[in-house]
């Protein structure tokens, strides 16, 4: 264990850049390839494993695009206000007939156009057309919305509730979807308890938060019991879950005497990085054991969340064959100074007001253990490695990281 103690005395003299560390982790992740065929009604939030195409036209019939009268266009030729075409109001189509229709109504058989209601005068059983219409005027085609065979979604698309309505209307009853990636979440730390902490004890929150983030991002979390700071116990816990697509630990990832998880991962397999130039949370690590990627998140709650977003989220997405959507952003004026260490990427938590010209207010810009600084924030400002910070009054981009899956 000479290497371990040397590393602990030295600390993190070299820290990988965020992008490089992320790529080195993703190089260890392969899509799991498991799929299932499920009913459309149960497919919200699932990722398509194959393209989908419409099985039928939508709406499937010719329909009136305007309120008015369905007619044969030829019966209106030459009509004008001075010399209107006089048709008879009817419930069925025929020569010189006009059938009352409403927007969305099926076009009566034999009709090929619709005269808008404002272009007619009604006199008893007669309908006077004041303006001629051409064939197809104000008529929606059977495939106006969707054509049979039309490609609707590509593989990798995560289905939204609105997508389900389109699929059902298009005659698609079942879809092939990727199974959610399995992510084992292992909280570590001898001081952790689930409730009613005594002095010196801490309520376990990191594993819960990360588990729910896994679910939010389209995975399936295995939220494990707390594992104490013991090499044998940690090794057993990691080995137990190597059938998962990704294993993630929380806590014990730094260089102290009780920070054992990186060494355990390295002893079981290969450590691909340990220490990243980001704040908060540079003591993050990742490795691979028996082809299973393992992400070691820091124990401070804010650092844990930041690193989960930066490393676990893309790893989970790749394992599940899912795209990694960008987070929605808001441009806002900064109300206070944000500082950052040169060469380090900083994720500064901010709150946003709801005015027409949003203002971003820093929220506990230091303190990786201040969980409320995330829970009470609306997003974060990413300060890149090349920037030492932002001054009050500058326009910044706020990532609303908790909104997007």
Select from 253, 257, 333, 328 the least CA-distant residue to 286: 253
Give the pLDDT score at 201. 86
* DSSP states of 200-215: T-EE--HHHHHHHHHH
Tens-place pLDDT, residues 200-210: 888 899 999 99
Domain parsing of the chain, residue ranges: 2-34+179-319, 35-55+154-178, 63-140, 329-399
320-342: average pLDDT: 92
Q: Tell whether domain 329-399 is in CATH 2.60.40.10.
A: no
Strands (E), 1-96: 35-39, 52-53, 63-64, 68-71, 85-90
What count of other Cβ atoms lies within 10 Å of the Cβ of residue 108?
A: 20
Residue 4 DSSP SS3 = helix
Mean pLDDT of 339-354: 90
35-55+154-178 placed in CATH 3.40.50.2000: no
Q: Give the domain 63-140 fold.
A: Molybdopterin biosynthesis moeA protein; domain 3 (2.170.190)
Q: What is the 3 state secondary structure string of 213-282? A: HHHHCCCEEEECCCECCCHHHHHHHHHHCCCCCEEEEECCCCCCCCCCHHHHHHHHCEEEEECECEECCC
pLDDT in tens, 140-178: 999 999 999 999 999 989 999 999 999 999 999 999 999
Nearest to 322 by CA among 388, 213, 209, 405: 405
pTM here is: 0.82
% helix, strand, coil for the chain, step of 5? 20, 30, 45
CA end-to-end span of the chain: 41
Q: Hey, what are 214's tokens?
A: 């896994």
> Is 93 in contact with 45 (CB distance < 8 Å)?
no
Interval 85-126: pLDDT, tens: 999 999 999 999 999 999 999 999 999 999 999 999 999 999
Reported as a single tens digit per residue, the pLDDT across 259-313 is 899 999 999 999 999 999 999 989 999 999 999 999 999 999 999 999 999 999 9
pLDDT at 372: 58
Q: Which CATH superfamily is domain 2-34+179-319 in?
A: MoaB/Mog-like domain (3.40.980.10)
Q: Which candidate, 337, 333, 330, 332, places its Cα nearest to that of 392?
A: 337
- The two structure tokens encoding residue 258: 């009780």
């Amino acid at each position: 264990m000479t290497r371990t103690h040397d590393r602990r005395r030295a600390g993190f003299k070299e820290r990988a850049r965020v992008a490089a560390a992320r790529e080195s982790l993703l190089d260890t992740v392969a899509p799991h390839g498991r799929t299932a065929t499920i009913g459309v009604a149960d497919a919200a939030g699932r990722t398509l494993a194959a393209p989908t195409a419409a099985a039928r036209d939508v709406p499937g019939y010719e329909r009136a695009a305007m309120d008015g009268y369905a007619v044969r266009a030829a019966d209106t030729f030459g009509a004008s206000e001075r010399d209107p075409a006089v048709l008879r109001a009817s419930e069925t189509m025929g020569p010189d007939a006009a059938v009352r229709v409403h927007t969305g109504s099926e076009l009566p058989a034999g009709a090929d156009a619709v005269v808008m209601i404002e272009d007619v005068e009604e006199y008893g059983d007669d309908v006077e057309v004041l303006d001629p219409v051409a064939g197809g005027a104000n008529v929606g085609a059977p495939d106006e919305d969707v054509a049979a065979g039309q490609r609707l979604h590509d593989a990798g698309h995560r289905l939204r509730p609105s997508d389900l309505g389109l699929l059902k209307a298009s005659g698609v009853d079942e879809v092939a979807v990727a199974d959610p990636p399995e992510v084992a979440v292992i909280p570590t730390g001898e001081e952790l308890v689930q409730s009613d902490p005594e002095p010196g004890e801490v309520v376990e929150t990191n594993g819960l938060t990360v588990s729910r983030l896994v679910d939010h991002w389209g995975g399936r979390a295995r939220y494990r019991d707390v594992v104490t700071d013991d090499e044998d116990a940690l090794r057993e816990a990691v080995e137990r879950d190597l059938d998962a697509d990704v294993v993630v630990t929380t806590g014990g990832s730094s260089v102290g005497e009780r920070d054992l998880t990186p060494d355990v991962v390295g002893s079981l397999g290969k450590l691909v990085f340990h220490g990243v130039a980001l704040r908060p949370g540079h003591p993050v690590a990742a490795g691979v054991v028996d082809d299973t990627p393992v992400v070691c998140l820091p124990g401070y709650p804010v650092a844990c969340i930041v690193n989960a977003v930066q490393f676990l989220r893309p790893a989970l997405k790749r394992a599940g064959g899912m795209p990694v959507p960008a987070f929605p952003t808001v441009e806002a004026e900064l109300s206070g100074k944000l500082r950052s260490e040169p060469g380090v990427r900083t994720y500064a938590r901010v709150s946003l007001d709801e005015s027409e010209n949003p203002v971003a207010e820093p929220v506990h810009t230091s303190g990786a253990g201040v969980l409320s600084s995330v829970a009470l924030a609306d997003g974060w400002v990413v300060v890149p490695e090349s920037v030492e910070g932002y001054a009050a009054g500058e326009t910044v981009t706020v990532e609303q990281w908790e909104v997007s899956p």
